[in-house]
Amino acid sequence: MIYLFDVDGTLTPSRGVMDPDFKQFFRNLPNYSLVTGSDKPKTIEQVGEDVFAGAEYSFNCSGNDVYKQGKHLYKSDWQPSKYLINFLEQCLETSTYTERYGNHIEVRTGMVNFSVVGRNAVDDQRTKYFKWDQTIGERRRIASVLKMQFPELAAEVGGETGIDIYPEGLDKSQVIQYFPDADIHFFGDRCEAGGNDHSLALKLDRVSHVKNWKETWNILERALKYTNPQMAVTQ
């Protein structure tokens, strides 16, 4: 069994760090890999250098920047066009959400992350935007319009505030090529249609669509107490 995990919202709170007790449990997992829209520095900030290096694979930037046991393996050379950047700037100008914090367009390896509220928003500010967006549906609307104007691109909602944008097919689903014929159990918090875990979840038979890291821990404990009882601990 290979355990494959989204990071933000699945192993950690949104933009937060891994719970110390959960981390101690998690580090002893056999055959785990990470798949996240975040880059390597942000991933290490959230889960720590030990969890990052202990992963069989860490698929950063939705699989466009790949590490194997902490060593760099692959990097996409895709770059966004000026037309895409202009489109996102227009979305920012026309958004009715007026609170803005820091950078809004972050070019990562092989992808772009776009956030109306901004990447420097703190927890309360991100949560406020997330609740507003749940009612208004701004991110899904932007993603839908973007895909009509740029049919060669995919755009998916990620985390509480972001939209992940990449070439069609170069989303998280691309990582299964690294596990031919393997039995994979995937954990993600955005497995719904339009979420950035959805494309990967569709291609796997064993998927846990979790609400938060605590649910991830609970599911892992139930699964492991039968296959590796000494790993199961009480939270």
CATH number for the domain including 103? 3.30.1240.20
Active-site residue 8, yes or no?
yes
Tell me how far the alpha carbon of residue 144 is from its chain's centroid: 19
Let me know whether 72 and 145 are in one domain.
no
Among the listed residues 8, 39, 164, 189, the single catalytic one is 8
Could you say which of 122, 139, 167 is where a domain stops? 167
Let me know whether 7 and 47 are in one domain.
yes
Let me know whether 140 and 210 are in one domain.
no
Total domains in the chain come to 2
Among the listed residues 6, 39, 133, 171, the single catalytic one is 6
Let me know whether 72 and 175 are in one domain.
yes
Segment holding 114, helix H or strand E: strand 111-115
The pLDDT tens digits along the chain (235 residues) read: 999 999 999 999 988 999 999 999 999 898 999 999 999 999 999 999 999 999 999 999 999 999 999 999 999 999 999 999 999 999 999 999 999 999 999 999 999 999 999 999 999 999 999 999 999 999 999 999 999 999 999 999 988 999 999 999 999 999 999 999 899 999 999 999 999 999 999 999 999 999 999 999 999 999 887 666 555 544 4
The residues near 233 (Cβ < 8 Å, ≥ 6 apart) are 25, 221
pTM above threshold 0.95: no
Residue numbers of the domain that contains 134: 82-167
Let me know whether 48 and 37 are in one domain.
yes
Q: How many whole angstroms separate alpha carbon 186 and alpha carbon 197?
A: 9
Active-site residue 6, yes or no?
yes
Could you say which of 117, 134, 167 is where a domain stops? 167
Token look-up 């997330």 returns 130
Let me know whether 162 and 174 are in one domain.
no
Let me know whether 161 and 213 are in one domain.
no
